[in-house]
Amino acid sequence: MIPAVNRPISRADILAPDAYDRIRGDRRRAIIALKRDRRLAIGPHVTAYFECR
């Protein structure tokens, strides 16, 4: 099996709008928390995000 980060996106990966709507808030908060630790402010106008694997 190919790891999720290295395989192409398929139709099965895409949620139906109503299913997405149910999980959107929790998923958004989790992603924001994860990205917070990978953010580097380079100056007042530039921010870099590092990938997480």
Q: Kindly report, residue by residue over 1-53, the tens digit of the pLDDT.
A: 556 667 899 999 999 999 999 999 999 999 899 888 889 999 999 999 888 76
| Predicted local confidence at residue 1, as pLDDT | 54
Rg of the chain in Å (alpha carbons):
15
Question: What's the CA gap between 17 and 34, in Å, rounded?
Answer: 24
Q: What is the pLDDT of residue 51?
A: 82
- Which pTM value belongs to this model? 0.57
Please identify which residue in the block is written with the tokens 């106008």. Answer: 45
Q: What is the pLDDT of residue 7?
A: 84
pLDDT at residue 37, as a whole number: 86
32-53 as b/e: b if 16+ CB within 10 A: eeeeeeeeeeeeeeeeeeeeee
Residue 51 CB-half CA count within 13 A = 2
